[in-house]
Amino acid sequence: MIKIKKNEYFCKVLGKLLIAHPLLNDGFFNRSVVYISQYTNESVVGFVLNFKTQFKLRDVRPQVQNGNLPIFDGGPVAKDQLFFLHTLGEKIKDSVQIEDNLYFGGDFNDLLYCIDHHRVSENDIRLFAGYSGWDKDQLDMEIEKGSWFVNTTDASTLLSIGSNVLWGSELGKQRRSFGIFSEIGSDPSAN
């Protein structure tokens, strides 16, 4: 389990989005948008927001009556674990506030109770199989090299943005001309 500590050193990317450069040639992170939830002296943790899997919560927890919430591929680390970002705050015991109206984790049984009692919508939570992790210096070097754009986000709408348009939308904010990359398929030879 990832432990987020509140009083650690935070850098300029905590609570921000990493938007993959359109020419990033990385097997996993191509066309990704990553929300950075932790940045310490040693490491960086984030979750890919726009890689929706075919799985729903009900597929991994069949006893959940209202388990139609999608699961996203949060990153290449700890893919056998389920993590979540949410806007539910203190409704989920042991949640850690990352920024205004955005929280990480908490008591999973509290979450399941809220889901079963219709107190959670798809815009309140994003479930992730795995997470993205870097050595602090590694991510700093990738940003300096131009592999990532860093952008602010509105925590109140972060979880409600459609995953299929997120990369193109965020990329267009960096440079309007980059928006065209989102209209090209991920395999240009197929166009």
Give me the pLDDT at residue 185, please: 54
Q: How many Å is the Cα radius of gyration of the chain?
A: 17
Q: Give me the chain's average pLDDT, please.
A: 86
What is the value of pTM for the model shown? Answer: 0.87
Contact between 46 and 35 under an 8 Å Cβ cutoff? The reply is yes
Residue 53, token pair as written in the block: 């899997």
In terms of pLDDT, which residue wins out, 151 or 2?
151
Report the alpha-carbon angle 113-94-119, nearest 5.
30
Reference 161, options 84, 52, 28; nearest CA is: 52
Give me the pLDDT at residue 8, please: 35
Give me the pLDDT at residue 12, please: 72
Q: Per-residue pLDDT tens for 102-148? A: 999 999 999 999 999 999 999 999 999 999 999 978 998 999 999 99
How many Å is the maximal CA-CA distance in the chain?
A: 49
Q: CATH 3.40.1740.10: does it fit domain 17-181? A: yes
Reference 135, options 14, 13, 44; nearest CA is: 44
Contact between 98 and 126 under an 8 Å Cβ cutoff? The reply is no
Strand partners, 52: 72
Q: Per-residue pLDDT tens for 3-20? A: 444 333 335 788 999 999
Domain ranges of the chain: 17-181
Containing 170, the helix (H) or strand (E) segment is helix 163-174
